[in-house]
Amino acid sequence: MKTVVLYLDKISAPMEELVTQSFSDVAEVKFLDPSQGAQGKLDEARYMLATNFLVTREVIDNAPCLKMIQRTGVGYDNVDIEYAKTKGLPVSITLGTNASSVAELVVLYMLGLYRKIIPLDRQSKTGVWDSWKYRHESFELLGKTVGIVGSGAIGREVMKRLAPFCVNLIYYDIKRLPVETEKELGCSYRPLEGLLKEADIVTLHVPWLEATRNMFSRERLAMMKYGAILINTARGPVVDEKSLIEALKEGRIGGAGLDVFDPEPFTPDSEILKFDNVITTPHVGAATLDNYRRVFTFCAENIQRVERGEKPENIVNGV
């Protein structure tokens, strides 16, 4: 049987071309909902590539030739990994490929919020030249304390990119980094409550698990330093959005950079969109061409491993 890789999500024509090129020597790529490429069906797929598509048990049951499900990111909440396990199907993630893309977006949020880039841009484009409006509430990163919640691949990349800004780096994770790694990154460990009280900026890099749902509740948000900034590029449910909105209204939170929401996509009337001190993006932390070149290269190599009878990498469901 010909090796067919089925891309489940609808993507743009240039991205379809990139996927096809990445697999040109490996397999035939088809698309469940193509912009321009070959139309594919579930029942012919030996491998699935999933970005945002919900890979339910129904989807899996309609793919009798399936050998592996390959996520094009690090989260896997859109895949029924336990059901895949009962079918003997490995589910792989592209661990580490997106770390630099997300880390750069995090730094962009920090700079954009501190320098009021969004409201100043809107103001300037309406012809208003008011260079004094935000001077008393604009800041530098220099000397600020940045608290990183989650010291995985992305959290560590954020630390590396912040080092030249001469910030004080503190972090929390359920598993502390080795002392030599802390020294290398220039960071110090704190319990979560201590980090929240100390940090001028808090950025979240924890996985989406039931244990992290509403991790940033009303009580945790209230622990944050008055006027601190919150950045979430992890998953929407990690933050209690209703409580965040209350904290923004009261001025206890000085601003937020949000790439993830609950639900996604957010509704156009969402109250979180009404704040000038909130930057929102539609879950694009990993969405750079540079990252997807790495992602699709890894996916192609991982599929080749399976075809050679070898164990694929970054399996999250124990198969």
* Total number of domains in the chain: 2
- Report the alpha-carbon distance of residue 47 to residue 28 in Å, rounded: 10
In a domain, 159, yes or no: yes
In a domain, 315, yes or no: no
Confidence (pLDDT) at 172: 98
Same-domain pairing of 111 and 144? yes
In a domain, 317, yes or no: no
Same-domain pairing of 118 and 56? no
- Report the alpha-carbon distance of residue 45 to residue 31 in Å, rounded: 10
The CA-CA-CA angle for residues 297, 303, 307, to 5°, reads: 140
- Report the alpha-carbon distance of residue 276 to residue 236 in Å, rounded: 20
Same-domain pairing of 22 and 139? no
In a domain, 28, yes or no: yes
Structure tokens at 238: 């990690």
Confidence (pLDDT) at 217: 96
Terminal-to-terminal C-alpha distance of the chain: 23
**Which among 82, 140, 193, 264 is annotated as catalytic?**
264
Whole-prediction pTM: 0.91
Same-domain pairing of 207 and 74? no
The domain of 36 spans 4-97+288-307
140 is catalytic: no
Same-domain pairing of 162 and 82? no
Q: pLDDT per position in the chain (319 positions), as tens?
A: 568 999 999 999 999 999 999 999 889 999 999 988 889 999 999 999 999 999 999 999 999 999 999 999 988 989 999 999 999 999 999 988 999 999 999 999 999 999 999 999 999 999 999 999 999 999 999 999 999 999 999 999 999 999 999 999 999 999 999 999 999 999 999 999 999 999 999 999 998 888 899 999 999 999 999 999 999 999 999 999 999 999 999 999 999 999 999 999 888 899 999 999 999 999 999 999 999 999 999 999 999 999 999 999 999 999 8
Structure tokens at 61: 């049951």
Same-domain pairing of 144 and 250? yes
**Which among 235, 250, 293, 313 is annotated as catalytic?**
235
307 is catalytic: no
**Which among 46, 71, 205, 283 is annotated as catalytic?**
283
271 is catalytic: no
- Local structure of 114: helix, strand or coil: helix
**Strand pairing partners for 253?**
228
Phi, psi of 220 (to 5 degrees): -70, -40
